[in-house]
């Protein structure tokens, strides 16, 4: 497919001068002033690298297009060009189906800087010497003469072998005669980002690994109906161990073959684009699998190559390898990896996994972040990794103005989500990782009447000014075995017996249904500038997520989504699902996610009542488990007539219908909560509702 941005059109080929605007960052947050020298030093490191790439590589566009040269490529004349970086090897060979699996028949030629190349001419009849679908391996000859089988780090398609051919993945040369052609342009970047985090493999209710095709046909329509405008695809980069959830990557350029082939993934993304959905890739550049035969580890026969050697190159908790971000070729590999997914598959952006591990030499292990700025600007910060993240965001945003990048960082690194020109790391959003932890803590450790409302509101609103946050009540992390989804924390005692609409009302289910809707709505409206939901949680998916493994007898029972529950109109799951759609559609109408943060006017500890306004809407939540309030005064930002536009207690969503939606609320010129106007409302217990002006 032709790239949407041609190299000659790239602004970066000119290596333009970028004027730093660090003063803007310091003006916005004066507490950063004592660390100005460190911020400028980091920016200087980035700028030095950018200039070196421009001078030595002919421009950043060329440097970040390494996938066009490295790996195995079929040329227009049907010859084959191969190129690898293996500085620790004495010799390289390519073997496979094409040469009868003779290991040393086709040697590479050694180039400068640890690079190797091989050219195979077209066959005498003009056909390609390596056919589409052929299996190949790279052979590394060490200094002692031993020969090691490896997969190319740039392999674009690898497959699990048949049971009788070992357990290591096999590289397949992928150049189909009919490559998929995209029919739809990328959608415009949404102002309000509503993300549906999903895993293709578990997206089927059958006990198997789901496919790209099944996801395209069966799940995308659900996502569109729910009102989400972004998909976040997990576990796409190939990983030999399914149970790693995709976070132990073995082949960085290969879309996982367990769900289908690359063309089928392209069609999935194209169909998503046709519905106006942007598609984000959960990219793992924080570490890599320790696998040797089918991973990057020890590719050239040494313990370094793409990684730091020795203990610095090993993540103690994840049992994985850590990239050497100071290495020129590692930077080429990783930056080109981002370009590969943007160009080849037409992804619209990335959620960067494990950013906290990248930012600090401690990898965040055993480290609590108190918010003291010295924790972020001391010797513990890994400048090489920070510089890589700055470069990654700089390249992506310069070449693709509508790209979206999200950082998974629990540390709260200042300026992580400010432009690189300001001395920031350049991300568009960070994940609000403290929010789901707070919900689980409340549900797990406290009785409803003991919830600390002030602390809850602090958690939902505690974010850096003008650094956007993706809020979420739960993600895949909370769904994993060993934990519980919010629905399960709330209702696990009776989810198998009292979720029928025909059964008698149950206090456990009533409480769970009410709080599930309230938790999502207050998180959506108050917690950030974007919202995320994990596949199935919109309807209160029961149980946890556990992939097939030895410990569960390779069972798929918990590695699937039970769509039958939400599709059955005799079950209450559909109420939660319908509420999710109504909540997203209301946000689409009023756009609170892309407005300024909410102003909280009420957080009453005794009453357990919260009220705030955002985007002209007024949100009221009564978390009290027993007490409803009549004529309860709340502040409103503007005078006028208000009406209810969303209500968690609506019978449509399985509630009790205690609020009359025909009621009109007229503001009073009586100051309250720092506003000159207020309303008197009825706030039923365990209910959240939204008011909008209607005059």
Q: For the domain that residue 664 is a member of, what is the CATH number?
A: 2.60.40.1180
The DSSP symbol for 401 reads T
**pTM of the predicted structure, to 2 decimals:** 0.95
Does residue 54 lie in a domain region?
A: no
Q: What is the 3-state secondary structure (H, E, C) of 104-143?
A: CCCECEECHHHEEEEEECCCCCCCCCCCCCCEEEEEEECC
Name the 3-class secondary structure at 444. helix
- Boundary-marking domain end, from 120, 140, 172: 172
Does residue 204 lie in a domain region?
A: no
DSSP letter string, 153-220 = TT-S-EEPPPGGG-SS-EEE----SS-----SPPPPPPSSEEEEEEEGGG-SSSSS---HHHIIIIIH
Specify the pLDDT at position 4: 39
Specify the pLDDT at position 2: 35
Does residue 425 lie in a domain region?
A: no
Q: For the domain that residue 99 is a member of, what is the CATH number?
A: 2.60.40.10
Strand partners, 545: 480
CA distances from residue 168 to 122, 130, 163, 261, 293 in whole angstroms, order as listed: 30, 21, 10, 18, 6
Cβ proximity of 269 and 276 under 8 Å: no
Specify the pLDDT at position 403: 98
Distance CA 652, CA 5 (A): 48
Among residues 474, 483, 661, 433, which one has the least CA distance to residue 576?
474
Residue-number span of the structural domain to which 149 is assigned: 66-172
Distance CA 517, CA 417 (A): 30
467 is catalytic: no
408 is catalytic: yes
- Boundary-marking domain end, from 140, 172, 204: 172
Distance CA 512, CA 508 (A): 6
Give the active site residue among 214, 300, 329, 408: 408
Does residue 238 lie in a domain region?
A: no
The CA-CA-CA angle for residues 239, 155, 267, to 5°, reads: 75
Does residue 603 lie in a domain region?
A: yes
CA distances from residue 194 to 114, 305, 416, 508, 594 in whole angstroms, order as listed: 45, 39, 21, 30, 11
Calculate the CA 449 to chain-centre distance.
Answer: 35
Distance CA 294, CA 236 (A): 16
Q: How many separate domains does the chain show?
A: 2
- In this structure, what token pair is assigned to residue 140? 């590394």
Does residue 351 lie in a domain region?
A: no
Specify the pLDDT at position 543: 85
Distance CA 171, CA 136 (A): 6
Cβ proximity of 471 and 593 under 8 Å: no
Cβ proximity of 559 and 244 under 8 Å: no
Give the active site residue among 300, 353, 409, 649: 353
Name the 3-class secondary structure at 15. coil
- Boundary-marking domain end, from 125, 141, 172: 172
Does residue 107 lie in a domain region?
A: yes
Does residue 75 lie in a domain region?
A: yes
Per-run averaged pLDDT (10 residues), the chain, 695 residues: 39 63 95 96 96 94 97 97 98 97 97 98 97 97 97 97 84 96 97 98 96 98 98 97 94 98 98 98 98 97 96 95 98 98 98 97 89 93 98 97 97 96 97 96 96 98 97 89 86 93 93 98 98 97 90 92 97 98 98 98 97 98 98 96 98 97 96 96 98 93
């Amino acid at each position: 497919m032709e790239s949407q941005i041609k190299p000659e059109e790239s602004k970066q080929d000119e290596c333009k001068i970028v004027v730093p605007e660090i003063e803007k960052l310091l003006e916005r947050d004066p507490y950063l002033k004592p660390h100005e020298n460190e911020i400028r030093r980091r920016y200087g490191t980035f700028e030095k690298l950018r200039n070196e790439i421009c001078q030595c590589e002919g421009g950043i566009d060329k440097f970040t297009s390494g996938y066009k040269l490295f790996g195995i490529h079929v040329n227009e004349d049907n010859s084959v060009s191969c190129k690898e970086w293996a500085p620790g090897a004495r010799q390289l060979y390519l073997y496979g189906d094409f040469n009868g699996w003779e290991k040393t028949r086709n040697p590479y030629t050694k180039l400068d800087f640890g690079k190797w190349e091989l050219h195979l001419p077209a066959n005498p009849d003009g056909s390609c010497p390596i056919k589409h679908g052929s299996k190949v391996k790279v052979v590394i000859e060490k200094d002692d003469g031993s020969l090691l089988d490896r997969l190319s780090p740039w392999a674009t398609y690898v497959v699990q072998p048949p049971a009788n051919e070992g357990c290591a993945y096999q590289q397949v040369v992928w150049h189909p005669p009919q490559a998929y052609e995209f029919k739809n342009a990328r959608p415009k970047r949404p102002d309000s980002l509503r993300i549906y985090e999903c895993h293709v493999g578990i997206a089927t209710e059958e006990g198997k690994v789901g496919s790209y095709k099944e996801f395209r046909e069966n799940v995308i329509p659900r996502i569109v109906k729910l009102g989400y405008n972004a998909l976040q695809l997990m576990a796409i980069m190939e990983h030999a161990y399914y149970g790693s959830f995709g976070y132990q990557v073995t082949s960085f350029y290969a879309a996982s073959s367990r769900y289908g082939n690359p063309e089928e993934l392209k069609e999935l993304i194209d169909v998503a684009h046709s519905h106006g959905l942007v598609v984000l890739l959960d990219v793992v550049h924080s570490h890599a699998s320790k696998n040797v035969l089918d991973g990057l580890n020890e590719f050239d026969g040494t313990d370094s190559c793409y990684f730091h050697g020795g203990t610095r190159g090993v993540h103690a908790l994840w049992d994985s390898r850590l990239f050497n971000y100071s290495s020129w070729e590692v930077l080429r590999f990783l930056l080109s990896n981002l370009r590969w997914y943007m160009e080849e598959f037409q992804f619209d952006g990335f959620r960067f996994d494990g950013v906290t591990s990248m930012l600090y030499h401690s990898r965040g292990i055993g480290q609590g972040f108190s918010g003291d700025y010295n924790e972020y600007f001391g010797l513990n910060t890994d400048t090489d990794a920070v510089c890589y993240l700055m470069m990654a965001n700089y390249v992506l945003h310069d070449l693709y103005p509508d790209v979206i990048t999200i950082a998974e960082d629990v540390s709260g690194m200042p300026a992580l989500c400010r432009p690189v020109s300001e001395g920031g790391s350049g991300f568009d959003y960070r994940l609000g990782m403290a929010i789901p932890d707070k919900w689980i803590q409340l549900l797990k450790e406290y009785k409803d009447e003991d919830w600390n409302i002030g602390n809850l509101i602090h958690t939902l609103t505690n974010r850096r000014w003008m650094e956007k946050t993706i809020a979420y009540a739960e993600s895949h992390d909370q769904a994993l075995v060993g934990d519980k989804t919010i629905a399960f924390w709330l209702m696990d005692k009776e989810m198998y017996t009292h979720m029928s609409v025909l059964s008698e009302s149950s206090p456990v289910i009533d409480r769970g249904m009410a709080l599930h809707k309230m938790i999502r709505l207050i998180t959506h409206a108050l917690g950030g500038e974007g919202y995320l939901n994990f596949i199935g949680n919109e309807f209160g998916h029961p149980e946890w997520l556990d992939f097939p493994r030895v410990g569960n007898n390779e069972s798929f029972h918990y590695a699937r989504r039970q769509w039958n529950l939400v599709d059955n109109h005799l079950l209450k799951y559909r109420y939660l699902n319908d509420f999710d759609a109504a909540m997203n559609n209301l946000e689409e109408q009023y756009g609170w996610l892309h407005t300024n943060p909410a102003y909280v006017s009420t957080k009453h500890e005794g009453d357990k009542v919260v009220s705030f306004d955002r985007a002209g809407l007024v949100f009221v939540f009564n978390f009290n488990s027993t007490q409803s309030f009549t004529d309860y005064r709340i502040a409103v930002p503007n005078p006028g007539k208000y009406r209810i536009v969303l209500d968690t207690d609506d019978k449509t969503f399985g509630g009790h219908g205690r609020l009359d939606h025909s009621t009109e609320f007229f503001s009073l010129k009586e100051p309250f909560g720092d506003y000159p106007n207020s309303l008197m409302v009825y706030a039923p217990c365990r209910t959240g509702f939204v008011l909008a002006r209607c005059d």
